[in-house]
Amino acid sequence: MTEFVLMGLLPNIAAELLPAPWAAQPESAIAQAGWLISLYALGVVVGAPTIAGSVARFPRHRVMVVLALALTVFNALTVIAPTFELVAASRFLAGLPHGAYFGIGALVAADLLGPGKRAQGVAFVLSGLTVANVVGVPLGTLLGQQWGWQAAFVVVAGVFAVATVAIALTVPPHPGDPGRRLRDELRVFRVGQVWLALGTGAIGFGGFFAMISYIAPMVTDLAGSPEWSVSLVLVIVGLGMTVGNLVGGRLADRDLRRSLVWGLLALAVASALLALTAAWIVTLGLFAFAVALTGSALSPSIQTRLMDVAGDNQSIAAALNHSALNIGNSLGAFLGGLTIAAGWGFAAPAWVGAALGLAGAGIAVMGFRVERARRARG
């Protein structure tokens, strides 16, 4: 919820926190409010490798409790921040623990399920994101529309508070690596395949976020549907993400390369079809489901790929998936906002998504070919 609920409330946030730009040109105000999405994503990008690398030596179950508590506090700050600038700062702070939180959780789950089911373990943890998009994000959007956008973040902070207690009581003890230090973990960036995997994820995920970041104005302004229908479309998107995540975990365990390349190509096709048909609410919902399914199916593949190429640097590798995801979040929201502010209409972000999906597939193919060539020489 903390990452995605903003996307259905951008018009509400823009109207309240940016009254002058909203009165002059609502499209520009919505695009500026989209910076909140990018700032959260930037916090994840900065925090994921630095925090995960710094805490690799500590017991993982205890680290998860501390990170969940930090997410509780920083999301509560979003509720009480009175200005756009302070809300922006709170979103950046809330993003800092995000990548390490999910990355370490994925490591614990992958170890518990054992060899041969690592991607399914990753998908199991990431299912929290997808379930949030079926239940939490639509509910939070509806609450924000009816009671003010801050109401959504009251729920977010409350959920994180409950999660902190639940993790403390139920996650089994899981040791860290006492010999690891941040300097050791940062050596992962010397591995060329890590950079290619990050590029694949960042560009590919950008295709998904270009669409979902501006789903609210796409539904209301482009398709001409009432505001309440935004929540319904978000439920459809969440169902697509849930199905995609479960399917993606199984496909990645069977054939990581094919699931990654073909998944990115499918994302590009689904985004293009959405752009062509978004003026009709039925086809908008159908292809938004397809974009969500294909985009979410990529996440287990990217995280498993990073863990495969990172060697001993598993803590930071698991968190880097969320850096890649949120670089894509920031990139997709930024480029989508640029196209809207340029006057190209609310379908333009879906075209951005199609282009980014194709670019991500190209980077993935490049990475696998480089790896194959290196093995042939060796």
- The residue ranges of DSSP E strands in 75-157, in sequence order, are none
CA distance 16 to 371: 51
Which residue has better confidence, 181 or 161?
A: 161
Amino acid 125 reads V
Question: CB 117: neighbour CB atoms within 10 A?
Answer: 17
Amino acid 280 reads W
- The confidence score (pLDDT) of residue 376 equals 80
CA distance 189 to 242: 31
Domains and CATH numbers, the chain: 5-371 (1.20.1250.20)
Q: What percent of the chain has pLDDT over 70?
A: 97
Q: Are 107 and 230 in contact (CB under 8 A)?
A: no
Question: Which residue matches tokens 């998504």?
Answer: 353
Lowest average pLDDT, out of 10-24, 74-88, 150-164, 279-293, goes to 10-24
Task: Kindly state the tokens that stand for 245.
Answer: 């995540």
- The confidence score (pLDDT) of residue 309 equals 83
Which residue has better confidence, 140 or 106?
A: 140
- The confidence score (pLDDT) of residue 265 equals 94
- The confidence score (pLDDT) of residue 90 equals 95
What is the 8-class DSSP label of residue 59? -
Helix axis angle, 137-147 relative to 150-170, nearest 10°? 140
Which residue has better confidence, 239 or 315?
A: 239
What does the radius of gyration of the chain's CA atoms come to, in whole angstroms? 20
Question: What's the farthest any 2 CA atoms get from each other in the chain?
Answer: 64
CA distance 215 to 229: 11
What mean pLDDT comes out for the span 140-151?
89
pLDDT beyond 70 at 283: yes
What is the 8-class DSSP label of residue 135? I
pLDDT band of residue 345 (cuts 50, 70, 90) is confident
Nearest to 288 by CA among 338, 225, 341: 225
Which residue has better confidence, 353 or 122?
A: 353
pLDDT band of residue 256 (cuts 50, 70, 90) is confident
pLDDT beyond 70 at 315: no
What is the 8-class DSSP label of residue 213? T
Which residue has better confidence, 187 or 92?
A: 92
Query: For all residues of the chain together, what is the average pLDDT?
Result: 86
What is the 8-class DSSP label of residue 7? G
- The confidence score (pLDDT) of residue 125 equals 76
What mean pLDDT comes out for the span 144-158?
92
What mean pLDDT comes out for the span 235-247?
86
Question: Which residue matches tokens 């009432």?
Answer: 226
Question: CB 154: neighbour CB atoms within 10 A?
Answer: 18
- The confidence score (pLDDT) of residue 155 equals 93
